[in-house]
A and B are shown apart, each in its own frame.
Chain A
C-alpha cells in the first residue's frame, strides 16, 4: 500500500539558544500568569485532556455496566448520575472548548500573522473562568452528582434528589469562558490580520473559528439563562418550567435546544476546520472551492439556529412546526454535504501522502459522512418518531461527536504536534493508534444503530436480555477505544521529550503557521509578516514562500 512512502522530514538540530515561546521562561508563574495565546492554548490543551479522561472513564464504567442486563457493577442511581456526568463533562468540559480553545488559541493569531489575540488578558481570564467552572462541576460530582441527563429536562430537574444546582451553576460559569473566547476571536479576526491576509486569504481553519465564535457568542447566553432558571426552580420552587406551579416544561425544551442544537455546530465546525487544513497540506493542493467552504461555514452558523425543533418531534409540537424544522434541518445538512464534497474533491489532481493526520482524515470522512447521513435520516419526521430517544440517536450523535470531533481533535494533535512542541511524533505508532481508534469506535457504536432499530430506549439501566449480544460487542469496542486513547497519549508523551527535533515546515505545507519556526518565537514571527501568496498555493516550491 502507499501508506508508507511519505516524505519523512530530516530532523534538523536547532541551536539551543534560539528563543521560543517555550524556553523564554520556565517558572510556574510564567505559565500561570501568561498572556501569550500559545501558552494559554497549552494550558487549555492539558486541562481538556484531563476532562476527556474523566468523561472517558465514566463512559467505560457505563459500557461495562451493560455487559449484562440488570445490575452488573453499579446500581441504577449511580448509573443515572454517571451517564449525566459523562454527558456534561464531554459536552461542556471537553467537546466545546477542545479544538477552539487549545488549537484555536494557539493557531488563530499565527494563521493571520498577528502577535497575539486582540485581548490577551481577557484570554487568560477566560481560561481561569473555564478552570473554575470545571472544578465547580467536579465539586458537584463530589456532592453526589446530578441524575437528570445532560439535558436537565424539567420538571424532573426541579425535583431530582441529586445535586442539580451546583452542576448547572458550574455550567453557567463555563458559559462565560465560552462567550469571552468567542468575542476575543471575532475581534482578533476582524482587526489583527497581517498585511496580505484578506478575508478570502485566511486559512480556512480561521473561518471555522470565526463561525464558531459567532455561535458561541449568540447561543451561550440563552443556555446560561435557561440553566439559571432551572437552578432557581430547583432551589426556590420558582416553577417557571414546572407545570405543578403553572410553568411550562416544553418551553424549557425550546430554550435548551435553541442553544444546544447550535452547540452541536460549536463542536463540529472546528473539527471541519482541522480537516480541511489536513487534507490540503497532505494533498498538496488548494481546496476544491475556498468560497464554498467559507460560505457554508457561515451558513451552518446561521441556519443552525433555526433547526432546534427537530429534537422535539414527539414532544408535542404542531405538525406545521415539525414540518418547518424538518425542512430547515435538511437545509443545514446541505452545508455539511458541500463541505464533504469539497474535502474529497480537494484530493483530485493533488499529490496525496498518508500520515497519521491523514489516516484520521479518512476515519473522520467515513464516520462523519455515515453519522451525518443518519442525521438526515433522523431529521425525517416519521422515522424520527421510532428512533427518538433510542440507541439509534445515541449512535448517531456519537458518530458525529466522537467519530467527527474526537478524530479531528486527534488529527489536529498530530498535525500541529511539531509546531506546538518542536518535536516529531513516531509515525508508525501513530498509524497503529489511528487504526485502533477507528476500529474500537466502530465496534462500539455501530451495534447501537441496530439496538435503536430494535427499540432499545436510551438511558436504560436495565435492558431486555435479547439485546445482550449487541451490548457486549459494543462494550468490548469501548475497551479497545479506551486502550487506543491511552496508547496515543503514551507515545505522544514520550515524543514530547524524546522525539526528533521538528523543522519549521515538516509537512511541506504552505499554510502561514508553517512559515515560522517550530516552536514559534514569543511573538510568533521574528518580524511583522507580509503574506504574498495564499495559504494553499502549491504551484511554487515551499522555499520560495516567505512570511
Chain B
C-alpha cells in the first residue's frame, strides 16, 4: 500500500526515520481533502442536473440554510482541519528538535556550493557522508545569501541564513546516495547548487573514517578554489569576471597591461598567486591580494592542476554572469 502510494504520488524513497510518518499524514490529508473536494463538486453537478431551468423566467422560493446546519458543516470541517494541525504540529516539533546524542556536522552554504565540516576536523565540498541509523545534527550557516538545505528523500528542509546558526537533524535508515538541493532562490546558479548525502553502513563508515578519500588533484583544486574565495573573481567556464577566467588559460598567450605578451605556464600561474601585482592582465584592475603564506604548497599544486585540467574543457555553469561584482567581492577578499 505504502509503495503503491509512493509511486502514485511520485514521492521519493523514505530514507529518514520520520519520512514514513510524514508520508502517512500526507496520505491522510490528501485523501480526505480530495474526497471533500470531489464531494463538493459532485454535489454542485447534482444540483445542476436536478434543478435545471424548465422555462424562462422561472421563479424560486426563498430558502435560507438554517444556522444550526451551517454550524454543523463548519464544525465538521474545522474538526478535520484541527486533526491535520495537531498531528502536523507534533511531527514538526519532533523534526525541529535534534536528539541529544546526535552527531554534529557543520554546514556552510555559499553561492553555489555546500561545505560540510566534520567534528574530526576534515571537510568536504558537496558531499555529506553520514552513517546509517545514527542521528545527525546539522549546524548551518550561510556565507552570503539565504539558501535552503533540502533532502527530498529525508522529507527535510531548513533555510540557511547568513548571520544565524540554525540546526536541523535527520537519521538515515537506508544506505545509498540521496540528492541535496538548494530550495531558496540564491542567484544565477541556484539550480546547480546541488550536493549529495552519502549514507554508509556502519562498517563502510568506519572505513571512511580511517581513510580520508584523496580524490584526484584537480578535484581537490576545485575545493581549494572554493574555500579560498578564488571563484568570487575567476570563473571556470570561460566567462571573464573580475579576474580572467581559468578555462583555456593554461598554455595560452596572455597580454599584460604594459603590452607584453607572456605564456601562461605553470610558473606564470604560481607567480600570479604569490605576487599578483607583478603581471596585470590587460583590461583588468589590479585588485587581487597576495596569497603568499596563505595557501600552502599542496594547495598551490592542486590549483595549478585544476587550471591545467581546464585547458580544453571548461567545466560548469553555462550561465551568463552579469559584469558586475557578485556578493562578497565588493572588496577583494581577505584571504583566510
- Which residues of A are interface residues toward B (Cβ below 8 A)? 2, 5-7, 70-71, 75-78, 80, 147-149, 153, 155-156, 159-162, 243-244, 248-250, 283-286, 288-290, 292, 313-316, 319, 322-323, 326-327, 330-331, 333-334, 337-338, 340-345, 347-354, 362, 365-366, 369-370, 373-374, 376-377, 379-386, 388-390, 450-451, 453-455, 457-464, 508, 537-542
Contact check, A385 vs B29: say whether CB atoms are below 8 A apart: no
B179 at the interface (CB under 8 A from A): yes
Contact check, B37 vs A373: say whether CB atoms are below 8 A apart: yes
Contact check, A284 vs B152: say whether CB atoms are below 8 A apart: no
Q: How far is the CA of A388 from the CA of B85 in the complex (A)?
A: 17
Q: How far is the CA of A78 from the CA of B322 in the complex (A)?
A: 11
CB distance from A469 to the nearest CB of B (A): 11
Contact check, B157 vs A249: say whether CB atoms are below 8 A apart: no
Q: How far is the CA of A186 from the CA of B151 in the complex (A)?
A: 48
Contact check, A155 vs B146: say whether CB atoms are below 8 A apart: yes
Given contacts A77-B321, A350-B60, 11 further A-B contacts (CB under 8 A): A292-B65, A315-B159, A319-B93, A330-B78, A344-B43, A351-B52, A352-B52, A365-B44, A385-B155, A463-B191, A538-B62
Q: How far is the CA of A286 from the CA of B65 in the complex (A)?
A: 11
Contact check, A289 vs B320: say whether CB atoms are below 8 A apart: no
In residues 24-42 of chain B, which contact A (Cβ within 8 Å)?
A: 25-26, 29-30, 33-34, 36-37, 40-41
CB distance from A381 to the nearest CB of B (A): 4
Q: How far is the CA of A149 from the CA of B166 in the complex (A)?
A: 24
Contact check, A159 vs B192: say whether CB atoms are below 8 A apart: no
Contact check, A508 vs B84: say whether CB atoms are below 8 A apart: no
Q: How far is the CA of A331 from the CA of B84 in the complex (A)?
A: 12
CB distance from A160 to the nearest CB of B (A): 7
Q: How far is the CA of A312 from the CA of B84 in the complex (A)?
A: 18
| Residue among A2, A385, A508, A541 facing the most chain B CB atoms (10 A cut-off) | A385
Residues of B within 8 A of A450 (CB): 9-10
| Residue among B21, B319, B322, B324 facing the most chain A CB atoms (10 A cut-off) | B319
In residues 269-325 of chain B, which contact A (Cβ within 8 Å)?
A: 317-322, 324-325
Contact check, A327 vs B96: say whether CB atoms are below 8 A apart: no
Given A326-B88, A344-B40, A386-B22, does the pair A351, B58 have CB atoms closer than 8 Å?
A: yes
Partner of B191, one of A2, A286, A461: A461
| Residue among B44, B52, B65 facing the most chain A CB atoms (10 A cut-off) | B44
Residues of A within 8 A of B150 (CB): 389, 455, 457
Residues of B within 8 A of A373 (CB): 33-34, 36-37
Contact check, B78 vs A153: say whether CB atoms are below 8 A apart: no
Which residue of A is nearest B45, CB measured?
Answer: A362
Given A75-B319, A380-B84, A463-B191, does the pair A353, B53 have CB atoms closer than 8 Å?
A: yes
Q: How far is the CA of A455 from the CA of B187 in the complex (A)?
A: 20
Contact check, B64 vs A289: say whether CB atoms are below 8 A apart: yes
Residues of A within 8 A of B81 (CB): 330, 333-334, 376
B265 at the interface (CB under 8 A from A): no
Q: How far is the CA of A547 from the CA of B59 in the complex (A)?
A: 20
Q: How far is the CA of A255 from the CA of B195 in the complex (A)?
A: 32
Given A338-B70, A347-B48, A457-B181, does the pair A77, B36 have CB atoms closer than 8 Å?
A: no
Q: How far is the CA of A351 from the CA of B48 in the complex (A)?
A: 8
Contact check, A453 vs B11: say whether CB atoms are below 8 A apart: yes
Contact check, A382 vs B48: say whether CB atoms are below 8 A apart: no
CB distance from B201 to the nearest CB of A (A): 24
Contact check, A319 vs B29: say whether CB atoms are below 8 A apart: no
Q: How far is the CA of A389 from the CA of B158 in the complex (A)?
A: 11
Which residue of A is nearest B47, CB measured?
Answer: A347
Question: What are 22 A-to-B residue pairs whose CB atoms are below 8 Å?
Answer: A5-B52, A155-B144, A156-B327, A159-B145, A161-B326, A162-B322, A288-B65, A314-B148, A322-B89, A322-B92, A330-B78, A334-B74, A338-B74, A350-B47, A353-B53, A362-B48, A370-B37, A380-B87, A380-B88, A382-B91, A385-B22, A457-B182
Q: How far is the CA of A77 from the CA of B321 in the complex (A)?
A: 7
Contact check, A326 vs B89: say whether CB atoms are below 8 A apart: yes
Contact check, B41 vs A352: say whether CB atoms are below 8 A apart: no
Q: How far is the CA of A149 from the CA of B47 in the complex (A)?
A: 43
Contact check, B152 vs A454: say whether CB atoms are below 8 A apart: yes
CB distance from B153 to the nearest CB of A (A): 8
Given A161-B324, A243-B163, A341-B73, does the pair A460, B51 have CB atoms closer than 8 Å?
A: no
Contact check, A454 vs B10: say whether CB atoms are below 8 A apart: yes
B12 at the interface (CB under 8 A from A): yes
Given A366-B41, A382-B88, does the pair A377, B30 have CB atoms closer than 8 Å?
A: yes
Q: How far is the CA of A386 from the CA of B18 in the complex (A)?
A: 12
Contact check, B320 vs A75: say whether CB atoms are below 8 A apart: yes
Contact check, A380 vs B157: say whether CB atoms are below 8 A apart: no
Given A377-B33, A457-B182, A539-B59, does the pair A340, B40 have CB atoms closer than 8 Å?
A: yes
Contact with A along B150-185 (1 / 0, CB 8 A): 101101111101111010000000000001011111
Contact check, B92 vs A382: say whether CB atoms are below 8 A apart: yes
Which residue of A is nearest B91, CB measured?
Answer: A382
Q: How far is the CA of A75 from the CA of B317 in the complex (A)?
A: 10
Partner of B59, one of A248, A369, A541: A541
Given A155-B145, A289-B70, does the pair A249, B47 have CB atoms closer than 8 Å?
A: no
Contact check, B320 vs A349: say whether CB atoms are below 8 A apart: no
Q: How far is the CA of A161 from the CA of B96 in the complex (A)?
A: 35
Residues of A within 8 A of B152 (CB): 386, 454-455
Partner of A352, one of B26, B51, B63, B321: B51
Q: How far is the CA of A484 from the CA of B179 in the complex (A)?
A: 39
Which residue of B is nearest A292, CB measured?
Answer: B70
Q: How far is the CA of A385 from the CA of B89 in the complex (A)?
A: 11
3 shortest A-B CB distances, which residue pairs? A455-B152, A243-B163, A382-B91
Partner of A461, one of B22, B184, B190: B190
Contact check, B96 vs A319: say whether CB atoms are below 8 A apart: yes
Contact check, B77 vs A389: say whether CB atoms are below 8 A apart: no
Residues of A within 8 A of B64 (CB): 286, 288-290
Q: How far is the CA of A287 from the CA of B36 in the complex (A)?
A: 21
B189 at the interface (CB under 8 A from A): yes
Residues of B within 8 A of A319 (CB): 89, 92-93, 96-97
Given A75-B320, A347-B44, A460-B190, does the pair A383, B60 have CB atoms closer than 8 Å?
A: no
Which residue of A is nearest B325, CB measured?
Answer: A161
B186 at the interface (CB under 8 A from A): yes
Contact with A along B191-221 (1 / 0, CB 8 A): 1100000000000000000000000000000
| Residue among A249, A347, A379, A381 facing the most chain B CB atoms (10 A cut-off) | A381
Residues of A within 8 A of B321 (CB): 77
CB distance from A265 to the nearest CB of B (A): 18
Contact check, A459 vs B185: say whether CB atoms are below 8 A apart: yes
Residues of B within 8 A of A286 (CB): 60, 62-64
